[in-house]
Structure 1
Amino acid sequence: MSAESAGIDTTRAHPARVYDVFLGGRGNYPVDRAAAAAALAANPRGHLDVRHNRDFMRRAVTKPAAEYGIRQFLDLGTGLPTGENVHQIAQRPVPEARVVYVDHDPVVLRELVAGLPAGSRVVLTHLTDEPHPEPTRAVQRTYTERGFTFVFRSRAEVERLFGDTPGLVLDAPGVVPVHRWNPGPAPAPPAIAPDAFAALDDIEKIRCRGIDDVTDEDINVYGATGTKV
């Protein structure tokens, strides 16, 4: 089935497909790669936000599956299937784990947590312009020019998402930049010969680079988990 027959507008960039570009996925189109290239030009290390947001998800899913006995996962705001997905991460330590994916979900967090049994974990990441406003807003401008909507929240505002939700307790270490949440080595990038790497464009080179050289100056995404009591 072609993109056109599936009702996909390939003339306008889409946030999920741009995210897929930075993760080295294949579910994107030239217009999405152009948007990613513009963002990369505005902030050459901005791809680390995307990559570390994804690596936070890997750690945040692995921990409740492997340590807390969580067997059912609900992924809200799924985006495009890309590597690795929640079911692949959860089923590595727990093969019987089950995952439901939901996107464009209109339910607010208060309503969502009310339906969870005690002992459930809530995992959240959120964009912020609080630590480094200049590079973050430079990237924002490249996206808003293409019709994307951005909502930034401060650390205090993200903390209120947990504090204002009855029955939800914020876990340690609280709301932190995603690379600071239970940090550990990221998976190694795919091996590639130097001459093959040199032939790639700037966007393609991203998926072949490691992310362990990250600094606090690179990350503009907060991550946190909470427990339903």
Structure 2
Amino acid sequence: MSERPAGGMTPINSSVAHPARVYNAWLGGKDNYPVDQEAAELAAAANPGIIPAVRANRAFLGRSVRELVDKAGIRQFLDIGTGIPAADNTHEVAQRRDPGARIVYVDNDPVVLAHAEALLVSAPGGATDYVQADLRDADAILTRARRTLDFSRPVALMLIAVLQYIPDADDPHAVTRALLDELPSGSHLVISHPAADIAAEQVAESMRLYNERADEHAGATPRPHERVTRFFEGTELLEPGVVQLTEWRPDAGTAVHAGPLPMWCGVGRKP
């Protein structure tokens, strides 16, 4: 069963942009408000690489899950920053390869909670669950995830386009470490993150426009390659390392964008 915070669902604030709803607008979805659409359109106008990057990010999620199931034997996924359900969610990709895969989704957006039923339709023999919690609340996430996941066996920690919403003041590297430290050997860390050093001026302007319209607690911070790579400290980076989205183990169906995509991504294995 999905978890709701004490007191019920957090009220939806439609007067400021929210990351999950803006991302949904970039994907062409309808689960967003005018303020989200405005933020999405202005940010994309300032940085034309955003929309192809969002699509490439979704494709990276699919490739990384398939690789982890097929080649690393991973059957458990903790997907934080889930976002509004779209095509090929983590459980759908994983359970196509192994119907017994188990997935826990985590997000702090009440709009995502409203769509949680779509995330809880598991293949027979597998399991899915949804937790409403903030990425910074590792204790709550891990306590609830243990109801579905077996932490004596490897888990893939999926942080797809979410760490940018943790400001430097909250130490996103420590936030990541608090989660990864509780996972057993053989677990994997999967990250994608907006880049501060690819199309830097366009990225900075698009982030400024987004942040002006976002909730004060949902501002975004792009980071350069070196700082994204730091998230993988203590893991063994899988080849080809921290790279642009379409460069991570592309398959024959991977679309190639003509220009640079302003996001870094990578996968690391915990020894």
TM-score by length of 1: 0.79
Q: Percent identity?
A: 41
Q: What corresponds to 1:201 in structure 2?
A: none
- Paired with 1:69 and 1:161, the residues of 2 have a C-alpha distance of 23
- Paired with 1:213 and 1:184, the residues of 2 have a C-alpha distance of 11
Shift of 1:119: 1.4
Match of 1:150 among 193, 210, 220: 220
Alignment of 1:183 with 2:253, yes or no, is no
Whether the 8 Å contact between 2:188 and 2:268 is mirrored in structure 1 is yes
Counterpart residue identity of residue 45, structure 2:
A
- Paired with 1:98 and 1:27, the residues of 2 have a C-alpha distance of 26
- Moved >6 Å (runs of 4+): none
Secondary structure of the equivalent of 1:145? helix
- Paired with 1:9 and 1:24, the residues of 2 have a C-alpha distance of 21
Shift of 1:86: 0.7
Match of 2:91 among 74, 87, 98: 87
Shift of 1:213: 4.3
- Paired with 1:71 and 1:213, the residues of 2 have a C-alpha distance of 29
| Unaligned residue ranges in structure 2 (runs of 5+) | 1-8, 108-133, 139-174
Closer, same or farther in 2 for the Cα pair 1:6/1:162, shift >3 Å? closer
Shift of 1:185: 4.2
Whether the 8 Å contact between 1:74 and 1:100 is mirrored in structure 2 is yes
- Paired with 1:116 and 1:32, the residues of 2 have a C-alpha distance of 35
Closer, same or farther in 2 for the Cα pair 1:185/1:7, shift >3 Å? farther
Secondary structure of the equivalent of 2:202? helix
- Paired with 1:151 and 1:227, the residues of 2 have a C-alpha distance of 25
Q: What corresponds to 1:204 in structure 2?
A: none
Match of 2:65 among 49, 61, 66: 61
Secondary structure of the equivalent of 1:91? helix
- Paired with 1:220 and 1:130, the residues of 2 have a C-alpha distance of 8
Shift of 1:186: 4.3
Pairing 1:134-173 to 2, within 5 Å after superposition: 134-147=201-214, 148-163=218-233, 165=234, 168-173=235-240
Q: What corresponds to 1:44 in structure 2?
A: 48
Q: What corresponds to 2:257 in structure 1?
A: 214
Deviation digits for residues 150-193 of structure 1, max 9, x if unmatched? 22221111222212x3xx21111111011110112448xxxxxx
Q: What corresponds to 1:225 in structure 2?
A: 267
Whether the 8 Å contact between 1:48 and 1:218 is mirrored in structure 2 is no
Match of 2:31 among 12, 27, 34: 27
Deviation digits for residues 127-165 of structure 1, max 9, x if unmatched? 1120211211121121022135122221111222212x3
Shift of 1:220: 0.8
Q: What corresponds to 2:117 in structure 1?
A: none
User: Greater Rg, structure 1 or structure 2?
Assistant: 1
Q: How many residues align?
A: 197
Pairing 1:97-108 to 2, within 5 Å after superposition: 97-103=101-107, 104-106=134-136, 107=138, 108=175
Shift of 1:84: 2.2
Whether the 8 Å contact between 2:246 and 2:256 is mirrored in structure 1 is no
Q: What corresponds to 1:174 in structure 2?
A: 241
- Paired with 2:10 and 2:181, the residues of 1 have a C-alpha distance of 36
Shift of 1:40: 2.2
TM-score by length of 2: 0.68
Pairing 1:185-200 to 2, within 5 Å after superposition: 185-186=252-253
